[in-house]
Amino acid sequence: MGDPQVYPKTSGALLTGSILAFVAGVLLLISFSSPYWLVSYPETYSEFVRLGLWDVCFRNYRHPPYQYDEKFDGCHWIFSYKYQNIRDWLQPGWLIFVEAMMSIALWFSLMALLVISIVLMRFVMKLEVFLLAVCTVLLGITALPVFLSVAVFGGKCFDRSWLLYPIFNHLSWAYGLAVISFFLHVFAAACLFSEISKAKERRRRANNLIYNMQPRNT
């Protein structure tokens, strides 16, 4: 556990970085699972209602290229049987890329939180510097796919070759949470990076204390 004089209570940078990482992970999880990335304006009464990464909602929508007279109504999972005939149109390559990037980001964010919890519990103080470096890298890796996701989705969701009448739609709060999560992951990585030098100094002081406490032959 270490001497309390050598290893003081959790520093402000470590505590701030941990809180930011936790909040960023929660926001990322909410954004990942919420069907509110793209929403139509209510006053337009559009056949498209809203869309997330995994759910799509329509209001009596009839897909023009679809040869059968079938209407799509209600909210369904994007991989459901209901959408199997229009899935190639509904889920273009760029949306698959966004889904993959967000899945990777969520996985790395959870791994970062796991390592941060080990650091905060002070279980392996000898590896504190290494674990802080791992946390910083994981948070940085998390921020990159989140940035790619929001950039690609924001640039392609209004493409006229995808949903009809894109001017009736707007980016919604789940997309905004992904953007906020990106910045929080970056700030958390910066806080933990600054903590690495402090951890090295604490480690040096601990080694000096142990050395000075050892008996010396006269």
> How do residues 169-203 score in pLDDT, each as one tens digit?
999 999 999 999 999 999 999 999 888 877 666 66
Q: How is residue 166 annotated by DSSP?
A: G
Kindly indicate the confidence band of residue 129, based on its pLDDT and cuts at 50, 70 and 90. Answer: confident
Question: pLDDT category, 3, cuts 50, 70, 90?
Answer: very low
Domains of the chain, start order: 12-208 (1.20.140.150)
Determine the average pLDDT of the residues in 48-76. Answer: 86
Reported as a single tens digit per residue, the pLDDT across 149-168 is: 999 999 999 988 888 888 99
| C-beta separation of 24 from 11 below 8 A | no
Chain centre distance of CA 164? 29
pLDDT confidence tier of residue 126, bands split at 50, 70 and 90: confident
pLDDT of residue 10: 64
Residue 43's Cβ-count burial label (10 Å; 0-12, 13-18, 19+) is exposed
Which pLDDT band holds residue 38 (cuts at 50, 70, 90)?
A: very high
Strongest mean pLDDT among 136-145, 161-170, 201-210: 136-145
For residues 51 and 171, what is the distance between their CA atoms, to the nearest angstrom? 10
Q: If pLDDT is split at 50, 70 and 90, which confidence band does 5 have?
A: very low
pLDDT at 213: 54
Measured on CA atoms in the order 123, 126, 132, 135, is the torsion positive or negative?
Answer: negative
